[in-house]
């Protein structure tokens, strides 16, 4: 079930990241081919404002993934709704403020970006800023809806939203340059409208009755807003590292290869951003799933998810690397059609870049998992090391011996050395190899419960369910529990599994899965049921009559606490039952 979920989420995340990067590539190509060199310069001068909007949206998106995945893992629906409500209000406020600010002050902003005070470049920069900033609420809104769509299991709708944005952007760009002749303002407006298209498609779910998130103004608090910002800080380190890297590599390349080398690096950056969609997708899945499983204290599933992401990192990273290696001249030719030094340098740079994709994907999975597991400082350190320090150091040292050729090793060496540094850090902290016993997770010694205090089972048939019921009873007795409590736990498992199999598995012809997890904690037993059937809340929607109603009511009556949440297209039910010794202790004090 987890593996199927990873495939679905990873497909949606990679597709989304790839499509967005292709949109930016298409915009730049169309501006260059139809509007001329000064238009490209205006687009480049406006980029810092675009980066600010993207950085704020990415920070909030990362903060949502960390904060809300943790609350989902705890089954805290109201806390998750507080994150959703606060994110919507915060995004609306920031984006509207930015839109008004840029529209009012776009002239001095254009001058400050280097466009001068008059002339074609000045007018085109102002025009593009005005057209693009109109879409700020939609672009930021679309970014924050992505993690919520993922957590709700709406991967298909996410793909539809991104696909709608891409198609509308390309169509509107062509209409602008071929029919309306709206210049740079029209190009910016085309991007804005495409973002609104994506937002409208995504909002179909959030305005429907099926939406698992509920907006409430009373849940918007300063504490939750602060938490979203705090959890999203590592995303700022990623952006800061990228800015530092670009600035310093431009300086090094100007000294070794002049403007031709800088032009080649610009092409490499564009192609590299698109190929990094795999690392972006893997990191996004790690943020969401690791956050939920960490909050559930599910060590085995957490380790399984990370190992699956490592495998995808190798397979997909190698596949993309081979594509870049073989087709590098073709890709570079789209940007630099003329043969010469810039084209040959860019081709070599792209091919060397391909060798660093596998360690980049693994680093992305690790740093994002550390972020949701409370190791924000480690995540920030990894971001700076892989994004700036090691790449710049490698480029600087190798350029002393190999000239411009040595600079192109910056990515593969930066990512590889960072991965080795993470491995050495894990070894020093755990005193064991990173790949043994989940050492790479860097979990606390007291995290979750000992392995022999956990019973886990995957169920597909009623016969397997009956076997698990017997195993659970024996498991409880084997851990010193009384026969009464052991029977209660077995009864809860019997009622829940039989209901899921009889009423969930049979509703359609699709294969379904049900996982059961039993934890022995010092003072209580925790039962977790997870299935991929249609949504059903047994706590609030109990059948009024029949054996099912009696069984569910009995199960809930036995539990001291019950929490249900529907996320990632999965039903998640957690029951807590007091241990017998705890009950006796409580009775003695009365």
Question: Which pLDDT tens digits describe the chain residue by residue (590 residues)?
Answer: 677 778 888 887 787 777 666 666 777 777 767 887 677 667 767 777 777 787 788 888 888 888 888 887 777 888 889 999 999 999 999 999 999 999 999 999 888 877 788 888 889 889 999 999 999 999 888 888 888 888 887 878 888 888 888 889 889 999 998 999 898 999 999 989 999 998 999 888 888 888 888 899 999 988 899 988 888 877 778 877 887 887 788 888 888 888 788 778 877 887 888 888 899 889 888 888 888 888 888 888 889 999 999 999 999 999 999 999 999 999 888 777 788 888 899 899 999 999 999 999 999 999 999 988 888 899 989 999 998 999 999 999 999 999 999 999 999 999 999 999 999 999 999 999 988 888 999 988 777 778 888 899 988 888 999 999 999 999 999 988 889 889 989 988 998 888 888 888 877 778 888 999 998 988 889 999 988 888 887 877 655 555 556 777 778 888 888 888 887 778 888 888 888 754 444 444 33
Contacts for 93 with CB less than 8 Å, ≥ 6 apart: none
Contacts for 373 with CB less than 8 Å, ≥ 6 apart: 290, 294, 441, 442, 443
Distances 337 to 30, 40, 332, 347 between C-alpha atoms, Å? 15, 16, 8, 12
Are 35 and 196 spatial neighbours (Cβ–Cβ below 8 Å)? no
Considering Cα of 81, then 87, then 88, then 89, what sign does the dihedral take? positive
User: Which residues partner with 573 through β-bridges?
Assistant: 529, 564
Phi, psi (rounded to 5 degrees) for 214: -125, 130
Contacts for 336 with CB less than 8 Å, ≥ 6 apart: 263, 264, 267, 342, 343, 346
- Cα–Cα distance between 156 and 151 in angstroms, integer? 12
Q: Where are the alpha helices (DSSP H) in 355-389?
A: 357-372, 376-384
> DSSP labels for 282-347?
HHHHHHHHHHHHHHTT-HHHHHHHHHHHHHHHHHHHHHHHHHHHHHHHHHHHHH--S-SHHHHHHH
Q: Which of 265, 408, 395, 398 is nearest to 343 (CA)?
A: 265
- Cα–Cα distance between 217 and 238 in angstroms, integer? 32
Residue 184, judged by CB atoms within 10 A of its CB (0-12, 13-18, 19+), counts as buried
Q: Which of 295, 428, 315 is nearest to 369 (CA)?
A: 295
- Cα–Cα distance between 422 and 444 in angstroms, integer? 17
Phi, psi (rounded to 5 degrees) for 285: -65, -40
- 3-class SS of residue 373: coil
Residue in this structure with the two tokens 């990370």, named with its chain if needed: 306
Q: Which of 245, 386, 314, 289 is nearest to 73 (CA)?
A: 289
Structure tokens at 521: 């904690």
Are 564 and 550 spatial neighbours (Cβ–Cβ below 8 Å)? no
113-117, Cβ contacts within 8 angstroms, sequence gap of 24 or more: 113/45, 113/46, 113/48, 113/49, 114/45, 115/42, 115/45
Q: Which of 377, 97, 54, 59 is nearest to 228 (CA)?
A: 59
Distances 504 to 458, 499, 530, 568 between C-alpha atoms, Å? 15, 7, 12, 17
Are 86 and 224 spatial neighbours (Cβ–Cβ below 8 Å)? yes
Distances 515 to 133, 492, 533 between C-alpha atoms, Å? 47, 14, 12
Structure tokens at 153: 């299991």
Q: Which of 243, 249, 189 is nearest to 411 (CA)?
A: 249
Q: Which of 126, 151, 147 is nearest to 61 (CA)?
A: 147
- Cα–Cα distance between 524 and 509 in angstroms, integer? 38
Are 295 and 74 spatial neighbours (Cβ–Cβ below 8 Å)? yes
Q: Which of 172, 360, 373, 347 is nearest to 275 (CA)?
A: 360
Are 416 and 393 spatial neighbours (Cβ–Cβ below 8 Å)? no
Summarize the chain as % helix, strand, coil (round to 5).
75, 5, 15
Q: Which of 155, 52, 74 is nearest to 568 (CA)?
A: 155
- 3-class SS of residue 132: helix
Domain ranges of the chain: 8-231, 236-447, 451-589
Residue in this structure with the two tokens 């790690």, named with its chain if needed: 286
Are 95 and 141 spatial neighbours (Cβ–Cβ below 8 Å)? yes
Using CA atoms of 117, 121, 124, 127 in order, give the dihedral in degrees to the nearest 10.
-20
CATH 3.30.565.10 fits 451-589, yes or no: yes
Which pLDDT does position 541 carry in this prediction? 65
């Amino acid at each position: 079930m987890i593996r199927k979920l990873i495939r679905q989420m990873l497909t949606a995340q990679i597709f989304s990241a790839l499509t967005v990067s292709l949109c930016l590539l298409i915009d730049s190509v169309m501006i260059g081919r139809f509007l001329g060199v000064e238009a490209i310069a205006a687009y480049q001068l406006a980029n810092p404002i675009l980066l600010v909007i993207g950085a704020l949206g990415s920070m909030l998106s990362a903060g949502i993934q960390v904060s809300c995945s943790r609350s989902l893992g705890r089954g805290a629906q109201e806390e998750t709704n507080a994150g959703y409500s606060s994110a919507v209000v915060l995004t609306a406020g920031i984006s509207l403020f930015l839109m008004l600010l840029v529209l009012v002050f776009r002239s001095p902003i254009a001058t400050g970006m280097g466009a001068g005070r008059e002339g074609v470049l000045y007018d085109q920069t102002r025009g593009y800023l005005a057209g693009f900033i109109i879409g700020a609420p939609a672009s930021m809104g679309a970014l924050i809806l992505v993690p919520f769509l993922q957590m709700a299991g709406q991967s298909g709708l996410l793909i539809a939203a991104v696909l709608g944005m891409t198609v509308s952007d390309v169509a509107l760009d062509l209409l602008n340059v071929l029919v309306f002749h709206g210049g740079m303002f029209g190009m910016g407006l085309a991007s804005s409208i495409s973002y609104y298209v994506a937002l409208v498609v995504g909002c179909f779910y959030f305005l429907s009755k099926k939406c698992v998130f509920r907006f409430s103004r009373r849940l918007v608090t300063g504490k939750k807003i602060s938490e979203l910002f705090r959890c999203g800080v590592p995303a700022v380190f990623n952006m800061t590292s990228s800015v530092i890297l670009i600035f310093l590599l431009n300086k090094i390349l100007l000294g070794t290869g002049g403007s031709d080398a800088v032009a080649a690096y610009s092409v490499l950056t564009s192609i590299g951003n698109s190929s990094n969609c795999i690392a972006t997708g893997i990191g996004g899945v790690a943020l969401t799933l690791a956050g939920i499983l960490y909050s559930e204290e599910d060590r085995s599933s957490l380790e399984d998810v990370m190992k699956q992401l490592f495998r995808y990192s190798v397979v997909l990273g190698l596949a993309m690397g081979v594509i870049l290696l073989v087709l590098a001249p073709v890709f570079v030719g789209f940007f630099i059609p003329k043969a010469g030094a810039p084209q040959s340098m860019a081709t070599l740079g792209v091919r060397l870049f391909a060798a660093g994709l596998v360690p980049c994907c693994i680093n992305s999975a690790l740093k994002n998992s550390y972020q949701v597991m409370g190791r924000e400082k480690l995540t920030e350190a990894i971001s700076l090391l892989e994004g700036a320090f090691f790449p710049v150091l490698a480029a600087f040292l190798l350029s002393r011996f190999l000239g411009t050729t040595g600079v192109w090793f910056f990515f593969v060496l930066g990512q590889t050395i960072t991965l080795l540094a993470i491995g050495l850090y894990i070894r020093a902290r755990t005193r064991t190899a990173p790949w043994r016993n989940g050492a790479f997770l860097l979990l606390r010694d007291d995290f979750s419960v000992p392995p022999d205090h956990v019973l886990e089972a995957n169920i597909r048939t009623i016969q397997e369910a009956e076997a698990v019921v017997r195993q659970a009873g024996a498991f409880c007795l084997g851990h010193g529990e009384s026969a009464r409590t052991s029977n209660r736990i077995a009864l809860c498992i019997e009622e829940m599994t039989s209901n899921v199999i009889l009423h969930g598995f049979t509703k359609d012809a699709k294969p379904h899965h049900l996982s059961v997890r039993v934890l022995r904690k010092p003072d209580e037993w925790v039962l977790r049921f997870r299935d991929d059937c249609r949504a059903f809340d047994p706590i609030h929607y109990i059948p009024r009559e029949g054996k099912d109603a009696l069984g569910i009511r009995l199960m809930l009556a036995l539990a001291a606490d019950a929490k249900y949440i529907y996320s990632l297209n999965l039903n998640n039910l957690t029951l807590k039952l007091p241990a017998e010794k705890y009950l006796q202790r409580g009775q003695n004090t009365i």
